[in-house]
Amino acid sequence: DTEPQSVAGRWRALCRTHVKSLIERGEAQTQRLFQTLSVVIADVLILCGAIGTWDGVLEAVVRDFEAELYEVVNLALRFQWTAGECVISRDFVVYVADSDAIYDPTRMDSDNAELLKAPSARAPSRTVLCTTHLGLLSETKVGGRERDNGGKVRTTVLTKAKVVLKSDNEVRYN
């Protein structure tokens, strides 16, 4: 079962709002992430054979790469904000091709797709026997309040469903 996009979006917004109240923000957050990144880099350098004490390596990392580390932290924070608050609502939907459906190359792949292209005396059926691999759709809300109440949804096929065509079965077993 899935919740409507409006419910899922509201839940995500509430979670982000309340989690933000629990964590530090602004300069304190930037400084904490800078320190964490510096320590992790110093740890990696020591493990890879850097010469000197851990404190000396950490000091050198901070001194020599301060601007670059702050840039990485700021980019990570901007990405986190963008991914969390600026991304449009979308749902992912797993789908199968119905048995006896007409083969649709925009939503399906056949294991023996070459049969559809090959000229033969017996033209292959373009009817689906069964689905062997699930397909994946992305549904993005592009207008209106809710999909069920007149809002528009743009559907994008991310992964086509793999199917066996009735003609595939006939060729294999005849």
Beta bridge partners of 152: 143
Report the share of the chain in percent with pLDDT over 90. Answer: 33
Q: What are 98's two structure tokens?
A: 């119905």
Angle 54-81/26-47 helices, nearest 10 degrees?
130
Whether 146 shows a pLDDT value over 60: the answer reads no
Whether 24 shows a pLDDT value over 80: the answer reads no
Whether 60 shows a pLDDT value over 90: the answer reads yes
**Residue 28's pLDDT band (cuts 50, 70, 90):** confident
Whether 161 shows a pLDDT value over 70: the answer reads yes
The pTM (predicted TM-score) of the whole model is 0.44
Other CB atoms within 10 A of residue 5 CB: 19
Whether 88 shows a pLDDT value over 60: the answer reads no
Candidate from 19-23, 26-30, 94-98, 136-140 with smallest mean pLDDT: 19-23
3-state secondary structure of 31: helix
**Alpha carbon distance 164, 149 (integer Å):** 36
**Alpha carbon distance 68, 76 (integer Å):** 12
Whether 87 shows a pLDDT value over 90: the answer reads no
Nearest residue to 45 (alpha-carbon basis) of 26, 25, 59, 30: 59
CB 166 within 8 A of CB 129: yes
Stretch 97-103: mean pLDDT, rounded? 89
What's the chain's average pLDDT? 78
**Alpha carbon distance 157, 93 (integer Å):** 10
Per the model's pLDDT, the better-predicted residue between 43 and 81 turns out to be: 43
Q: Find how far residue 31's CA is from the centre of its chain.
A: 29
Stretch 120-131: mean pLDDT, rounded? 69
Per the model's pLDDT, the better-predicted residue between 112 and 50 turns out to be: 50
| 161-165 vs 108-110, strand pairing mode | parallel
Whether 36 shows a pLDDT value over 80: the answer reads yes
